[in-house]
Amino acid sequence: MVRQPTGRSRRCGGVSQTVVPIVPETLLDDLDARVREVVRRDGVDPQREVPRVRRIAEQVVRAHDDRSLTGVVAPVADVAQVVGELVARVAGFGPLQRFLDDPEVEEIWVNDPSRVFIARRGRHELTSLILSQAQVEELVERMLKTSGRRIDLSQPFVDAMLPAGHRLHVVLEGISRGFSAVNIRKFVLRAAQLGDLVELGSLTSQAARFLEAAVLAGLNIVVAGGTQAGKTTMLNCLCAAIPGSDRIVSVEEVWELRFPATDWVALQTRQQGLEGTGEVTLRDLVKEALRMRPTRVVVGEVRSAEALDLLLALNSGLPGMATIHANSAREALVKLCTLPLLAGENISSRFVVPTVAASTDLVVHLGLDRHGVRRVNEIVAVPGRVENDIIETEPLFHREGDQLVRSPGMPARLEAFERAGIDVHALLRTD
């Protein structure tokens, strides 16, 4: 087998494929063994002391080059490349490390050891990287070691966070056919505030100013969209608009939110231990967040019965935000009306539907266009009215082709904007 550390892309069977020059695996294995020997001898922690590992790798490669002058071994053609590969093997995540280091790569997934895919700018491509099953297992073990989470027959799925903030999801072989399925969603911060999304073309400046005003006014906002539509990025940008005097408590399955805030507590869920105890769910965290005197509650993603606890929190007058998977703003509201029913048989739609209508002020729906660009598709206001179990909505912005245009609707809770000193009518006026 050969390692192929750097390269370019080509098309293969209609799918982009990354092609890279070849480095002899035997040479890398020999140098790798020497680096590991020095690391063990000196008691170096490779995960925590990466610069030291790099210095060791440089010394080993330099010594190898000195030996090559005698003709005993072949010289190293590209020292920087080999050193980088050795550091990736010993201190990083081996052959996947170059994709983790590439700022253009947004996601990496392994369907089986011979089919490793990456996503760039919303489009996926098949790489030429070929792993062994043992390599995949070793990589998963190393990644989980840094996260403190586990995967086994009793717990065949795992969500974890890598040291750089990337999200790891693994499905164990047996549930996944043939091989363990590995997915790494990188945290690529291209936008830190709403103005950045305007520059990226995701929404208009008028829509950005309105969303910022809605956050300042304390409206409850739900961000909806499909996978990789940019929900977490949008939530980060919205949170960046929260006044610095507010106390924020966020709850997530795995920490992904990153925004500037002075008074912010971030909570994440926890798996149960080997003895079957110690699990902390999103429902637990939402309830716990309310005991921490927040002025804002942010839920990374609503997927299940925790939607009920979130609605109860928002209905008490506490401003909040959350994301949800949905194909449109309307479907996001329908889903918010369905998920709380999972909390128990005593929860009925007669209670949930009007609670959703009263607790949700705005829905921002995101999507990927045909070019893989993330865009805001619509911004919808929820005035709080229900007719025949259907929540009424007021469209504020909608997409026509490549343009996000103003719709005739107006947001609810105009008094909240007035208290914040915002003239929402002037903000939404079209010339």
Q: Are residues 79 and 114 in the same domain?
A: no
Residue at which a domain ends, from 72, 92, 112: 92
| pLDDT average, residue stretch 166-187 | 84
The predicted model gives 267-283 an average pLDDT of: 78
Identify the pLDDT of residue 275. Answer: 67
Same-domain pairing of 209 and 346 = yes
Tokens of 165: 């903030």
- Which of 9, 163, 32 has the alpha carbon at shortest distance from 95? 32
* Residue closest to 413 by CA, chosen among 211, 205, 220, 210: 220
Structure-model confidence comparison of residues 278 and 82, the more confident one: 82
Enclosing domain of residue 166: 102-188
CATH number at residue 204: 3.40.50.300
Residue 224 lies in a domain: yes
pLDDT of residue 274: 65
Specify if 97 maps to a domain. Answer: no
Calculate mean pLDDT across residues 289-306.
89
CATH no. for residue 121? 3.30.450.370
Give residue 298's pLDDT. 92
- Among 171, 188, 205, which residue terminates a domain? 188
299: its two tokens: 């839920």
> Which range among 18-32, 118-132, 390-404 shows the weakest confidence by mean pLDDT?
18-32
Co-location of 320 and 209 in the same domain? yes
Query: Of 18-22, 68-72, 98-102, which gets the smallest average pLDDT?
Result: 18-22
Is residue 398's pLDDT more than 90?
A: yes
198 and 162: one domain? no
- The count of domains in the chain is 3
129 and 84 in a common domain = no
**Among 233, 260, 257, 267, which Cα is nearest to 244's?**
260
- Structure-model confidence comparison of residues 272 and 263, the more confident one: 263
Same domain, 177 and 211: no
Mean pLDDT of 363-378: 87
136 and 76 in one domain?
no
244 shares its domain with 380: yes
Residue 276 shares a structural domain with residue 133? no
Nearest Cα residue to 296 out of 216, 224, 230, 373: 216
Phi then psi for residue 295, to 5 deg, are: -105, -10
State the average pLDDT for the chain: 83
Residues 182, 321, single domain; the answer is no
Report the DSSP pairing between strands 167-171 and 181-185.
Answer: antiparallel
The phi, psi pair for 124, rounded to 5°, reads -105, 155
**pLDDT surpasses 60 at 430:** yes
Both 67 and 83 in one domain: the answer is yes
- Helix 79-90 and helix 50-68, axial crossing angle in degrees, nearest 10: 140
**Among the ranges given (179-193, 314-328, 330-344, 356-370), the one the predictor scored with the smallest mean pLDDT:** 179-193
Q: Single out the residue in 42, 66, 92 at which a domain terminates.
A: 92
286 and 408 share one domain = yes
Q: In this prediction, what percent of the chain has a pLDDT beyond 70? A: 92
Interatomic CA distance for residues 116 and 179, integer angstroms:
12
Find the mean pLDDT for residues 348-367. Answer: 91
